Chains A and B, each alone.
Chain A
Amino acid sequence: MIATKKPSTFKGDFKPTWCPGCGNFAVLAGLDRALVGLEFHPEEVVICSGIGCSSRFPFFMRTYGFHSLHGRALAVATGLKVARPELTVIVTTGDGDAASIGGNHFMHALRRNVDLTCIIMDNQVYGMTKGQTSPTSTRGFVTKSTPYGAQTPEVDPVWIALALGATYVAQGASHDPKQLAALIRAGIEHKGMAVINVTSPCVTFNRACDYKFYQERSFNILDKQPDYDPSDRLAAMELVHNNQGQFPLGVLYRAEAATFDEQLTAVADRAAATEVTLDDVAETFH
């Protein structure tokens, strides 16, 4: 790779449609910084997304992009990565897209350990449809779809990611763009399924969870536990469990494991080790 990229390489054709002050701007800046820092060319990167404010991402960067269907980004990205393992595939998604309608794909992408980077912009609300309860909204949250308050407990994408086998789990915040960019960069560098949950306020439809809300409830893992060991999955789960309602920032968990795309490549190499021709295949029917 040539090390002469200007920061503007990934600047998109389309001006972001997010509301002024949206937390997603920090993610956009962070991803741009990570890709520039890692000296990628635009054509080497594909951003896959589903539906929602966070899923408009592909239009705002100059890379290949696949703006797919609500919840399906991880499945689309899995197919792409398996078929073209040399590409860098990034999934931008939200709390509703990943943890509600795409829950099944989220679960299976995690357990497969596909070499993807999945950035979840978690604002605890459905923003694009103008303010309904999301699976990460807290119990009692009042919206137009839950006028008497949400009656379900929230899910924590970080907890799911840890439980189901992601090999890189981090949490960042839009109020700390510098750390966020570093976490995204490390996620892209990580070989395997990298999940970065980002608290990213919706300034229009979830005013309760604004920048101040997240700042007050966030802490840096290493500030609190300088000897924190990110290779210990149980410790990571304990940290999350012991700080419910809080947002530990930094790398929670990191491990090395064979990736799904790598394993399918190995399967193909093994199957093709003894040369099989189309005539041999025809002979199996004879």
Chain B
Amino acid sequence: MTFRIEGDAGDGIISMGNVLAKSIARSGGHVYTFRTYPAEVRGGQSTFQLRAGPEPVHSQGDKVDVFVALNETAFHQHKADLKPQDGVLIHPDVKGVWEGSNAYGAVRYAVDFDRITKQAVGNLKAKNVVVIGMLAELFGLDPDTIKTVLADQFRSKGEKVVAANSRALDAGVLHTQKHITKIDKHRLTFGDRTDLLVMSGNEAIAYGALLAGVRFYAGYPITPASEILEWLAKHLPQFGGRVVQSEDEIAALSMCLGASFGGVKAMTATSGPGLSLMSEMIGLGSMAEIPVVIVDVQRGGPSTGMPTKDAQGDLDFAIYGTPGEAPKVVLAPHDVEDCLYQTINAVNIAHRFHIPVILLSGQSLSHRTETIAPPDLSKVAIYEENFFDGDGRSEQRFCRYDERAEAGTSRRSIPGSAGGEYRATGLEHDDCGLPRFDPQTRERMVARRRRKMHAISKFFHAADRSPQQDATVGLMGWGTTTSIVHKVVRRASNQGLKLTCLCPKILFPSPDQTIREFIKPLKKIFICETNSTRQFAELIKSRYSAELIRGNVEVISITKDTGLPFTAAEVYGPVEEVLRHDRHQETVNL
């Protein structure tokens, strides 16, 4: 069941949505929400969409069941998204454009929210809670559960505020009971788990960092990544950590490398413009072999681009964007829950292999919320480095970059440890970290770094797969497009069509064996991504050209670069064409 609530930026739409989402989760429902808001701080429309169900929800849904339009603009802009026939439209009880809206087949409920709110609490501040009360009564959400959420939300603002919100909720419920005759058939349904957590992709990344043992964070505010800085600024100090708002992104990553050199797990988060500023420092992390995690919450580019819009345009930059063949790892989380676990993976890989790890999230993932099961901390493996523990003051130099080391990774020593003194440097260096430019040293150190990448691809090659017997058509996606890929595969399966899929969680180093196995039985591979230059598809085509040519496999890109994520229909359409008619297709640009 899908709700959309839209009104003025000052109507409290987002907080209304958050209360609704948590209340549904506490009642045993799963949710998937997203919000849009203008790039400017004030003015404009604010939208919150929430899809709820008894089972996990993986996409926003194509059409809206219940549309709360708090002003005429909202109605104008989105009336076409309302489900025909059995949609529900809720709007203020004033004359307006909605008058003729029965033509869309929607059930209409007109409510004088302003009057009800004023009567209940004396001002208009709690209008959003009156709306929640009404939705609760209409669609079967327990008001007492909502009150527990409101109490938690407003506790810090004092008893008075909690009481006012409670009254507003009751007023919404009561008005609905007395004055609205329910004529639609929608009702929320719930599952058994009432311990589900509701969080956004950004919060999941920040929370994952805390769980992974990150205790230093430096960052510079940037849309759409700032919530990671904000969440950690509040919570890291509670666990003895340090958070610095740096003067720029270069400083953010510099500080992280400084902290990590000191043996403290460090992370920063940014978006495309910040990532480009960091690229020289990423090279230093690579060369000096200092673990660090860099989150890139991608947004539409190039340059300042579209800060509040979605894109997957940074893959090439993440992989190749540092001059001089700097080894690094690129991971991409698939959904909100994966944000948490991939962040933990990123921290683990960074510390196991002493390398910068870039985590490619995206705007659509960063701000939407989903319900996830509370992480079972006993099953989350956190990698702890075994530092050199000091051997007094021997005359021997500490061999920080032992060239014979397995996996191209040798033990670190951290300041304070006697006998482990060494220098980290961006210069080519020998095994003790001293500058050396002779061809023999160079050759050995290049080999050492390549060995590291090889070891990583053997160590971590997780992917989402859906094996399908006899399928000759495959669908690939990465990061934020993964949930759509799953949806398309389910839809195909429901239609009796054979479609297999693969979405790697690690993009670089590429999980060769997994991808080669996937390609082998196929004749056609669709690759969907939200950019215009087919970055992932080009990587697959060039890296696996031998396999693709040998098997006569056709690679078809489905791309979209509008600032919005794919809908399932947009990907399913072209795939279905091929599955049903085996029609020949080139790139599909939406």
Query: Which residues of chain A have a CB within 8 Å of any CB of chain B?
Result: 13-14, 41-46, 48, 58-59, 62-69, 72, 75-84, 86-87, 104-105, 107-108, 264, 267-268, 270-272, 276, 278, 281-282, 285-286
By the criterion CB–CB under 8 Å, are A65 and B238 in contact? Answer: no
Is B11 positioned at the interface, with any CB of A under 8 Å from its CB? Answer: no
Closest to B254 in A: A75
- What is the CA–CA distance of A282 and B198 in the complex, to the nearest angstrom? 10
A-B contact pairs, 22 of them (CB 8 A): A13-B397, A13-B432, A42-B421, A44-B416, A64-B421, A65-B422, A66-B423, A68-B424, A69-B254, A69-B280, A69-B281, A72-B250, A75-B246, A75-B255, A76-B257, A84-B262, A84-B415, A87-B416, A108-B251, A272-B237, A276-B235, A285-B199
- What is the CA–CA distance of A276 and B240 in the complex, to the nearest angstrom? 11
Choice from B197, B216, B416, B435 contacting A59 with Cβ under 8 Å: B435
Chain B interface category by residue count: 35 or more
Stretch touching chain A among B203-211, B302-310, B351-359, B581-589: B203-211
* A-B residue pairs, 3 tightest by C-beta: A79-B255, A79-B258, A75-B254
Closest to A9 in B: B393
- B413 CB to closest chain A CB, in angstroms? 8
- What is the CA–CA distance of A73 and B377 in the complex, to the nearest angstrom? 37
Number of A-B contacts (CB under 8 A): 179
- A51 CB to closest chain B CB, in angstroms? 8
- What is the CA–CA distance of A62 and B418 in the complex, to the nearest angstrom? 11
Closest to B265 in A: A83
Choice from B248, B266, B393 contacting A83 with Cβ under 8 Å: B266
- B167 CB to closest chain A CB, in angstroms? 24
By the criterion CB–CB under 8 Å, are A79 and B421 in contact? Answer: no
By the criterion CB–CB under 8 Å, are A286 and B424 in contact? Answer: no
By the criterion CB–CB under 8 Å, are A66 and B237 in contact? Answer: no
Given contacts A75-B258, A278-B377, whether A83 and B216 have CB atoms under 8 Å apart is yes
* Chain B, interface SS category: mixed
Which chain A residues border B238 with CB–CB below 8 Å?
271-272, 276, 281
Is B538 positioned at the interface, with any CB of A under 8 Å from its CB? Answer: no
By the criterion CB–CB under 8 Å, are B423 and A58 in contact? Answer: yes
Which chain B residues border A63 with CB–CB below 8 Å?
421
By the criterion CB–CB under 8 Å, are A285 and B426 in contact? Answer: no
Q: From residue 365 to 398 of chain B, which have CB atoms closer than 8 A to chain A?
A: 374-375, 377, 390, 393, 397
Q: From residue 415 to 452 of chain B, which have CB atoms closer than 8 A to chain A?
A: 415-427, 432, 434-435
Closest to A43 in B: B418
Which chain B residues border A65 with CB–CB below 8 Å?
421-425
Choice from B243, B256, B263, B434 contacting A14 with Cβ under 8 Å: B434
- What is the CA–CA distance of A76 and B240 in the complex, to the nearest angstrom? 20
Is B144 positioned at the interface, with any CB of A under 8 Å from its CB? Answer: no
Given contacts A84-B415, A104-B251, A278-B211, whether A77 and B258 have CB atoms under 8 Å apart is yes
Given contacts A43-B415, A69-B284, A83-B216, whether A75 and B435 have CB atoms under 8 Å apart is no
- A80 CB to closest chain B CB, in angstroms? 4
- A54 CB to closest chain B CB, in angstroms? 15
Given contacts A82-B259, A104-B247, whether A76 and B254 have CB atoms under 8 Å apart is yes
- What is the CA–CA distance of A139 and B405 in the complex, to the nearest angstrom? 53
Q: Mark B257-292, 1 if CB is under 8 A from A, else 0.
A: 111011110100000000000001100100010000
- What is the CA–CA distance of A51 and B257 in the complex, to the nearest angstrom? 16
Closest to A272 in B: B238
Choice from B254, B281, B416 contacting A84 with Cβ under 8 Å: B416
Is B108 positioned at the interface, with any CB of A under 8 Å from its CB? Answer: no
Given contacts A76-B255, A82-B244, A264-B242, whether A64 and B237 have CB atoms under 8 Å apart is no
Assuming A65-B422, A268-B242, A281-B207, what are 12 further A-B pairs, CB within 8 angstroms?
A45-B415, A64-B422, A65-B425, A66-B424, A67-B427, A69-B280, A69-B281, A76-B255, A78-B258, A82-B216, A87-B415, A271-B238
